[in-house]
A and B are shown apart, each in its own frame.
Chain A
Amino acid sequence: MAFISLWVVLVLLLVAIFAPLVAPYPPQTTDYGQQLAPIGSPGHPLGTDTLGRDILSRLVYGFRTAFLVAFVAEVISVVVALSVGVVAGYRGGRADGALMAATDIMYAFPTYLFAVLLVTVFGRNFWSVMAAIAVAGWVTQARLVRAQVMTLKKRDFVEAAQGMGAKGPTIATRYILPNALGPLLVTTSFAVPAAITTEAGLSMLGLGIADMPSWGAMINEGVRFATSSPHMIISPAIAFAVTLLAFTWMGDGVRDAFDITSEGRR
């Protein structure tokens, strides 16, 4: 399952990167002669929406939006989580206290609430949506890194390095960091579908990135016509579901690869 998912994710990634080559039309092009064309119409294999925009093209560009947001958000979130987590775990004290306080606050503030507030304040643009996802995600990852670092710093090889006279920053980056990366990779591979979900969710509420096509926006526009023109939401919903499942199963595979204890339990 994990390997099939990996291939699905790779194909989707290629589609996202080469969207202009894959999509038959630019995503915003309207065809007023062909509004609400059903699936299988000539020239529009997945039909068109109320404005006559080609659904297949919007779907393909929607992949692009989703991957771009998820990728940038995860890079930022991982970098922040690593730096805060290593400092909090290695130095403890005040940095640790601050991380715990931040955790408390973020736990009382559901991701999407925070995302909605940020987008309300900074506008429906790429950077605010992405910042919203990164801000919401780093806390869990930072806590994980912190826990890893706290166990690693008592290991023999770290103490040996200390005994040899290595300085704090060297130990943290050379000896502890590489060993803390495995579990972080596992949470990150689950965080990517979560980021995609948040992006689509914001668009579903009409609060997504204003000028980029998104599955969430397609569902939001199409759901009112669910009974009369279901083709407007069928293909985005299926594409969305396939993407999320592929990422989830790939994440399961990554986790199983890193964790021997979970074998046989699932």
Chain B
Amino acid sequence: MGYLEFFGRRLARVGFSLVVISALTFTLLQLAPGSFADIQRASSGSTGMAGAAAQEVAGQFATRYGDDVPAWQQYLVFMKGALTWDLGPSYKYPAQSVESIIAQGFPVSATLAVLATLIALAIAIPTGVFAALKQRTAWDTGSMFVLTLGHALPNYLTAVFLVLIFAGAMHVLPAAGWDGPQHLILPVIALAIGPLAVLARYVRSSMLDTLSEEYVTAAIAKGGRPGVVIRKHVLRNSLIPLVTVTGPMLAALMTGTVFIETMFRIPGLGLSFTQAASSRDMPLLMGTTLFFAIILMATNLVVDLVYGLLDPRVRAESGRKLRGSRISRKDVGRPGAGSSEGSRAVVQGLG
């Protein structure tokens, strides 16, 4: 299969998935019992808005999508809006459009995700390399054990422990809020620990694979100094696969900040999503869901394309089977690292 055909097929699959996801979201939310106005009436006084205002908002929605037209026509209106980046006003915050809420929240979530990825990479690579070089020593088993802890716990639970220690017991960092760099530290660490564990194991097993290659033995046999061999032959070859894990990981983190943002009250996309869900702010909920899905699919697509460019075998197998076998060999039993599988694993690691 030529690269163009591979490219076309992947693109078509992404397009198809997006249509299905948006349609699914739209239909699900049509079925939802209890309209926005009802929820607001039930909770008015505390967080809800007045009944008249809520009715008016629902009226605006009706004029935008048509009141008595079939659902599929409303869906077409929604999709047209989505394609032209015009998603209409939010229910809960009628003064703001959904796209402006997304535009405000996204940089916040992206900041968290990028920082967490950088920290995870910066710690995971040396840890994994060291563990592999000192295989079967206390350093290896010890660091891998600690990482298992980080991997087994969801990020919000890690966050609870961090808050208890650094905000509750030591009073050195704020427990919640979004006001200056000191508010970044705990959320970013909590986000980074899960991916860090996945990455470090990945680096370790990738290093071990490379170390047992014949060309490494040959390089040592020719009299290469261990430091040089490791830097020039081992590191370079075992870190290339990291590209395929890091991309989806970043995307997963970007959409996986939901729990952390809710817990630390950080005004990012994740918090908007949760709040939209609990107040039944349908336009905002559909908008954020679609945006999350697009980010994930776009990243997976890019990684697959880059990978297809680097490794022709992936093209030949249309990308699926080969990567499956690679994973089962690398990271037995646990859905491990490798392109879209990796993002899944990381997403699950995030809770």
What residues make up the interface of A, taking CB atoms closer than 8 Å to B?
100-101, 104-105, 107-113, 116-121, 123, 140, 143, 147, 183, 186-187, 190, 193-194, 197-198, 200-201, 204-207, 219, 223-224, 226-227, 230, 233-234, 237, 240-241, 244-245, 248, 255, 259, 261-262, 265-266
Q: Mark B191-211, 1 if CB is under 8 A from A, else 0.
A: 000000000000001001000
Q: Please classify how large the interface on chain B is, using the bins under 10, 10 to 19, 20 to 34, 35 or more.
A: 35 or more
Q: How far is the CB of B51 from chain A (nearest CB, A)?
A: 21
Q: How far is the CB of A84 from chain B (nearest CB, A)?
A: 16
Q: Mark B246-281, 1 if CB is under 8 A from A, else 0.
A: 000000100110110011000000000110011010
Tell me whether B293 and A204 are in contact (CB under 8 A). no
Tell me whether A226 and B278 are in contact (CB under 8 A). no
What residues make up the interface of B, taking CB atoms closer than 8 Å to A?
13, 16-18, 20-21, 24-25, 28-29, 31-34, 144, 148-149, 151-154, 156-157, 160-161, 163-164, 167-169, 171, 175-176, 205, 208, 252, 255-256, 258-259, 262-263, 273-274, 277-278, 280, 285, 289, 292-293, 296-297, 300, 320, 324, 332-335, 340, 343-344, 347-348, 351
Tell me whether B13 and A262 are in contact (CB under 8 A). no
In the bound complex, residues from chain A placing their C-beta under 8 Å from that of B169 are 230
Tell me whether B343 and A107 are in contact (CB under 8 A). yes
9 pairs, CB–CB < 8 Å, chain A vs chain B: A104-B13, A108-B17, A121-B32, A123-B33, A186-B333, A187-B335, A197-B154, A230-B164, A259-B333
A110 CA / B320 CA spacing, docked (Å) = 19
Question: Which chain A residue shows the least CB distance to B256?
Answer: A110
Most buried by A among B256, B293, B332: B332
Q: How far is the CB of A228 from chain B (nearest CB, A)?
A: 9
Question: Which chain B residue shows the least CB distance to A118?
Answer: B28
Question: Which chain A residue shows the least CB distance to B318?
Answer: A100
In the bound complex, residues from chain B placing their C-beta under 8 Å from that of A190 are 333-334
Question: Which chain A residue shows the least CB distance to B171?
Answer: A227
